[in-house]
Structure 1
Amino acid sequence: MEEKLISSKNDIKRIRTYIEGLDEQIQGGVPENSITLICGSSGSMKSSVSFNIAYHEVLKGKKALYISLEQSWYSLLNHMTNLDFNLSKINLVVISDLSEFNQKIQKVKSGKGGAFVITDIGAIRKEIKAVKISPSSDWLNVVKNVVKKMKQASGCDILIIDSLSALYVLSNFTHPRTELFYIFEFLRDLDLTCFLVSETPRDGSRYGEFGVEDFLVDGVIRLQLVERQRKVTREISVVKMRATACNVDVFSLEFENGKFKALYGGQPALI
């Protein structure tokens, strides 16, 4: 992607998070063509927040690619249906066999408006389990090739990789800091808006597996599970976001009637 200087802050196009109360705190949304880390502990709704962004962008006519490395596409879609996402409203395409890739991408091209493509890497691994694949690089290349081919064949506006933690398990990096740098450079060159899901420890001591991810990305959205008086609530905060005047306060995250809300307040802390 060729970088360009802007003459005014109004030149920055933004992608909404579709979290009521949060977009207003980050000048309307995440900068287009940026890389954002969505991190949090298990159960903090990282995947749901990511899916929510892509779903609403697809409703507006955009094309989104969701690469699931650990959760099956059945499990993912059943979960989203339970959260009241109306999947019948979007052109939904599932890729669970690489031999069908070109056929499925043709469905994306022939459809009117947006498209939501889910690539189930776990299912693909099962399909070709008889093939010996080096864990160090080839599965990473599979992910890269899926992204590049979709971008070239049908276009792609939004990319979600869920999750970085699973990608690390498959890739077995020898020099993680160097290899991560080149992965992020690859993502920047794609000219699309990227959201990376990252599993973090419950204590929030780091934002990614190797402790460098937050330096390499443009933005970090942190989700937390916080226990107060034996009651657990979800919280959300924007740790950083380049080219954005953002409110870094912590908000309560609520999900009700198919919508996310970021609110001040919540259960008061014990004194």
Structure 2
Amino acid sequence: MKGLEVVPTGIEGLDPIIGGGFIKGRTYLVSGETGTGKTLFSLNFLVYGITLGDRGVYVLVDERVEDLMRGAKDFGWDLDALVERGLLNILTLSQEAMEKLSEKPLDTVVRSIVTDIKLEVDKIKASRLVIDPIVSLVFQEKDIVWMREFIRRLIISIENDIGCTTVITSEIPTNSNTISRFGVEEFLASGVLVLGLQRIGDEYIRTLLVRKMRWRPVKPSIYVFEIVPGKGIVIKGRLREYIRSLPIPIA
């Protein structure tokens, strides 16, 4: 759309579908069940951005940095080297650290998290940001109203105070019909992509649903994708066309 600057996602085959990329400075939700490729999508987005000169910050919630780096290296992405060169920062937020904030007022919690993220962004002048996953930032003992308000304020504060093009991931329960954990993320995000697994005969294929793209005339559609070492996620085409191309009838 004229007047809105877009940034390429780095996901092969995705940008032509969504109007050229993500709108600069906006937040996008990537959701899906466990093992559907959310972290890989996020890394793909950051690493590709670095090749274009866009430095990135990865907010890793309740996971070891070593595990992330080891997994990335299997795909040919040397995150250690990117960190050493000042092109990537990784901020880890543990459950223990989050629990220390749990008794603070909501505004204080949001401000503390956003301040920590902004510090890492400013250090390297990053323009891309990933929070993986946003669900783990939420205090499970709080009620659903508190959780939703926390996420709402967090996303708004990130866009207003940090200004990066941001990908947040959200894990959804297996066999759930929802597209986010708390039912508020999708309303605040400028776009929603849902990763999944589709059974075709005796096999499963990976799918990506373009659920929403604000300010883009994009019709919701399901696409097939593959995970390719050295490239990451590669869109292969629409699901219905993939099924038609199969040589045998699907039971």
Normalised by the length of structure 1, the TM-score is 0.78
1: CA distance between counterparts of 2:150 and 2:14?
A: 33
Is residue 135–residue 170 contact of structure 1 (8 Å, CA) maintained in 2? no
Residues 155 and 87 of structure 1, relative CA distance in 2, 3 Å threshold: closer
Task: Report the identity percentage.
Answer: 20
Structure 2 match to 1:196:
168
Match of 1:85 in 2: 77
Structure 1 unaligned runs (5+)?
1-8, 94-106, 109-114
Alpha-carbon distance, 1:172 to partner: 3.6
Secondary structure (helix, strand or coil) at the match of 1:263 reads strand
For 1:26, the equivalent position in structure 2 comes to 18
Give the structure 1 partner of residue 48 of structure 2: 56
Compared CA separation, residues 74 and 142, structure 1 to 2 (3 A): farther
8 A Cα contact 2:110 2:150, kept in partner: no
Maintained 8 Å contact 2:206/2:225: yes
> Are the aligned partners of 2:36 and 2:197 in contact in 1 as well (CA < 8 Å)?
yes
Unaligned runs of 5+ in 2: none
Alignment match, 2:158: 187
> Which residue in the other structure is 1:96 paired with?
none
Report if the CA contact (8 A) 1:236-1:253 is conserved.
Answer: yes
Matches within 5 A, 1:184-263: 184-189=155-160, 190-259=162-231, 260-263=233-236
In structure 2, distance between residues paired with 1:257 and 1:149: 32
Contact 2:91–2:117 (8 Å) recurs in 1:
no
RMSD: 2.6
- Mark the CA change 1:32 to 1:135 in structure 2 (over 3 Å): closer, same or farther: same
Amino acid of the residue matched to residue 175 of structure 1?
W
Residue 156 (structure 1) aligned with residue 126 (structure 2)? yes
Counterparts of 2:149 and 2:43, CA distance in 1: 29
Normalising by structure 2, we get a TM-score of 0.84
Deviation of 1:240 (Å): 0.6
Length, aligned pairs only: 238
Amino acid corresponding to residue 82 of structure 2 in structure 1: N
- How far the C-alpha of 1:80 sits from its partner, in A, is 0.8
Structure 1 residues 134 and 184 mapped into 2: Cα distance closer, same or farther (>3 Å)? closer
Deviation at 1:52, TM superposition (A): 0.4
Greater mean deviation of Cα atoms: 9-18 or 30-39: 9-18
8 Å CA contact 1:63–1:156 kept in 2: the answer is yes
How far does residue 46 in structure 1 lie from its aligned partner after superposition? Answer: 0.3
